[in-house]
Structure 1
Amino acid sequence: MDQIGEPTQNQRLEGFNILLGLTEAVGTILVILVISWINYHRNGLSWGADPDTKFNWHPLLMVVGFVFLYANAMLLYRIQRNVRKRRLKLMHAGLMLFIIVLVIISLVAVFDNHNMKKIPNMYSLHSWVGLTSIILFCCQWVAGCISFLYPGLQGNLRASYMPIHVYFGNAGFIGVLVSCLLGLNEKAIFQLKEKYAQFVGEGVMINIIGIFIIVFGGLTMYLVSQNQYKRLPRPEDDVLLTRTND
């Protein structure tokens, strides 16, 4: 049976569990804050005729999927460092696919909201950065499936593509964080107008959510950028994906 979370060989994992626990705690609080904001200030969620409550699915699913789950998908190889590589690849790809599903639902919600309220689509910097991040994410998923899950691909090609995959994965995550911050600021200015400058409760809460996004993103990027926290190769990592034994 696979062992989870135990140091492999002579890895230097000092502080990893503390930082990981802090990251997950910040991410969990972030999700709770977004749910609280939607429930107490934006009238909750629905998928009916009310365009505003339908729109609320957009920030919720984007934060849950494109921030919290995206970060955990990036950290998966460090969290589950003793799970076999074959299984990790499938878990990583599956989690990314689930994120795509959440993102699609969130896009349907925001486009429906704009269409119901006769608001133009895709005019803001938030929407441009967000769509660019989504396209990059989907391209990453397709390229990753071909490169790392197709058993016939040569190992040297996989090795050559790996740094590119990691770089654009990190770049896409940063783009997502920027898009979320732009979206929060846009929502605060458009909805609260002059009240935003008066430190009303909703405006303060939106700012706090933004700070938590920055802290969560910063902790995640630190964990994925530290070489001492990388998963070390194991002898069975080169086993073809078509093998059935785990």
Structure 2
Amino acid sequence: SAWTCFKADNEVRAAVPLKSKYWSIHNVFRVHLITTGAVLYRIPLTWGQNKLPWKLLHAAMMLLSLILAVVGLCAVFDVHNAQKTANLYSLHSWIGIFSCLMSLLSVQWLLGFAGFLLPCSPVALRQLLKPVHVWLGSSILMLSVAACISGINEKLFFVLQPYSSLPAEAVLANSLGALIVAFGLVVLMILSNGKWQRADPGPEDLTYTVRRKFPGSVLTQDSVLPLLYLYEFPR
């Protein structure tokens, strides 16, 4: 991210200095947030803990990733318009738009929130949504990695001359792209490894019920607690 930020063209910085930084680093942070959020449930340290705080952290990281993607797209259009450069003509831009729109149009975040965070969500709905949610998340991760490496390559072609002579900066940028790919592959390996999956869901993954008796009331059966009460009854 440091390389992409400092390599931004002086002409771009002069036109839109703040947005040029968003343009340069948003994809790197986005991939980092997506991958970190995806493997939260696979950390053995969390397996014996209440899952709700990790769900909230997962949702927050994915939401921040989505915000960064939107901010980055807006910054790209502003930078291109300031430089009188055409928009959406390269493969990098197509992949970036598709990965962002895929996460938006599929309502990935809202789908996960409604299906897995709301305590009133039916168990059958969660079982139906889980494979779709996992597949969409993995697809968005791969598209984000592809957008990063294609963006690095595109930037090198534009600002580094001659790129074909492979100067030290080109080696650094190529190595950065290779590390991003390796990072994404490691995350996919973790996600696909059954040994790293969390154990069967506990009560907090299905619904929170506590037997409470209310004197003078008909509510003597198991009562489903609202979301705020989840913190008071950890597993």
TM-score (norm 2): 0.80
Who is 2:219 aligned against? none
Paired residues, what number?
Answer: 208
Deviation at 1:169, TM superposition (A): 0.7
Closer, same or farther: CA 203–54 of 1 in aligned 2, 3 Å = farther
Matched, 1:175 2:143: yes
Q: Secondary structure at the match of 1:222?
A: helix
User: Is the partner of 2:39 in helix, strand or coil?
Assistant: helix
Deviation at 1:208, TM superposition (A): 0.9
Which structure has the larger Rg? 2
Change (3 A) 1:73 1:167: same
Query: Using the alignment, how far apart are the partners of 2:201 and 2:98 within structure 1?
Result: 36
Q: 1:133 maps to which residue? A: 99
- The amino acid that maps onto 1:184 is I
Whether contact under 8 Å (1:61, 1:103) holds in the other structure is: yes
The within-5 A match list for 1:213-224 is 213-224=180-191
Higher relative contact order (Cα pairs below 8 Å, separated by 6+ residues): 1
What does the per-residue CA deviation read over 1:170-219, in whole Å, with 9 as the maximum and x for residues that have no partner? 111111111111111111112224x1001122222211111111111111
Of residues 76, 82, 88, the one that matches 1:122 is: 88
Output the amino acid matched with 1:209: L
Q: Once superposed, what is the RMSD of the aligned Cα atoms?
A: 2.2
Give the SS at the match of 1:203.
Answer: helix
Q: Structure 2 CA distance, aligned partners of 1:56 and 1:76?
A: 28
The aligned residue for residue 176 of structure 2 is 209
Indicate which of 23, 35, 39 corresponds to 1:75.
39
Counterpart in the other structure of 2:211: none
Summarize deviations over 1:110-166 as a string: whole Å, max 9, x none.
Answer: 111101000111121111111111122232112111211233221011111101110
Contact 1:37 1:202 in 2 (8 A): no
Counterpart in 2 of 1:157?
Answer: 125
Q: Does 1:98 align with 2:78?
A: no
> Does the C-alpha gap of structure 1 residues 72 and 86 become closer, same or farther in structure 2, counting only changes over 3 Å?
same
Distance, in Å, in 1 between the alignment partners of 2:18 and 2:155 is 14
Return the letter of the residue paired with 2:38: M
Unaligned runs of 5+ in 2: 209-225
* Matched-pair contact (CA < 8 Å) for 1:42–1:53: no
How do 1:13-28 and structure 2 match up within 5 A?
none
CA distance in 2, matches of 1:190, 1:49: 17
The alpha-carbon distance between structure 1 residues 105 and 140, as it changes in their structure 2 partners (threshold 3 A), is same
Separation of aligned partners in 2, 1:152 and 1:52 = 46
Q: Which runs of 5+ in 1 are unaligned?
A: 1-33
2:92–2:151 Cα contact (<8 Å) kept = yes
Q: Give the TM-score normalised by the residue count of structure 1.
A: 0.77
Contact 1:52 1:113 in 2 (8 A): no
* 8 A Cα contact 1:57 1:106, kept in partner: yes
Query: How far, CA to CA, are the matches of 2:181 and 2:82 in structure 1?
Result: 32
